[in-house]
Amino acid sequence: MKRIGILTGGGDCPGLNAVIRAVTKAAHQSGYQVLGFQDGYAGLVLNRFMVLTDALVSGILTQGGTILGTSNKANPYRWPVPKRSGTKRARLGDVSKKALAHFKKNRLRGLIVTGGDGTMAIAKKLHDDGVPIVGIPKTIDNDLPGTDITFGFETAVITAADAIDKIHTTAQSHHRVMVVEVMGRYAGWIALYSGAASGGDVILIPEIPYRIEAVCRKIRERARAGKHFTIIVAAEGAKPLGGRWTVQRRVADSTDPIRLGGIASKVAYEVENKTGLEARSIVLGHVQRGGSPTPFDRLLATRFGTAAMRLAESGSFGRMVAYKNNCIESISLEDAAGPIRTVPADHPLLVSARTVGTSFGDLD
């Protein structure tokens, strides 16, 4: 029996189950058995998996999350190992040879890895060490290089935009400044799209350091025009000019230990002190990762899954499927693990938002 493996790494995201379903059904059509490794790379290191049957993947197209589980901590190259006597902190070691051994033990012809930038960086290392891998791009942040869009992004934008729409009425009724914090550590795609779609008056993104004076100036301009409320949409990675991220906490054993959070509260506090207007903050957080994927995300995930299986079947490993100019293509894992895709200064939506009067907190 020919065998192929699949795992989902990093944060969860609407559309992951659609990918699992697509890979499984496409593999079965070609006579493959599919092993689904559980909880991301942890499943490969610990050899935890389930055999994916048609019955198991039936009906999961519309479900959020992932039936395989995931992890944003599991990294075979930075794996917690027993502490040495007398030490207080856990050590991180390289157990990638265990992952490779389990890949061989299960007689797999290839491994399909679904994830974001961190997951793809690990996939590139594993592939170089002898695991034949095909990647599938997944992140609500939409920041993976080489692909125009990732599944999960549209669902997250719709979730965020719906919340901002609802906040409008409260802001207007109470004459408040409402600061809505959305996800986006290095890239402001969610903030830009959801903020523009919901008529956000100020949008703060990581790519454009803001000045609180410029933000307050926009609020005062609106007040003078008789608009006694303001909606501010802030990506979690937004930071003031010359300033730093707002860090909520650190997780020592994570591949990316810094956890951002609190920019909305920070901006609301500063706005209230400088303008005298009541300001409130709202953090949407992980609600953006949940729920049923939109039809577009279901279709994109299905196309990615079937394309990944075609690459694996043809032996075209070391590549990641990508969406470019409305077509499904592929790029090398090396390119996929490159610098993240941020919002360019001349992006058409950013230009349009400025044209209709949206402030990004950067201009006098």
117 Cβ neighbours under 8 A, 6+ residues apart: 139, 143, 144, 337, 340
Angle at the Cα of 52 (from 49 to 58), degrees rounded to 5?
140
Residue 72: closest CA among 305, 259, 244: 259
Distance (Å, rounded) from C-alpha 136 to C-alpha 15? 11
Angle (deg, nearest 10), helices 189-197 and 153-174: 50
> 3-state secondary structure string, 173-206?
HHCCEEEEEECCCCCCHHHHHHHHHCCCCEEECC
State yes or no: is 54 an active-site residue.
Answer: no
Catalytic hit among 141, 143, 201, 297 = 141
Residue 321 pairs in a beta bridge with 330
Query: Quick one: residue 262, left, alpha or beta (phi over 0 = left, psi -120 to 50 = alpha)?
Result: left
Active-site residues: which are they? Answer: 141
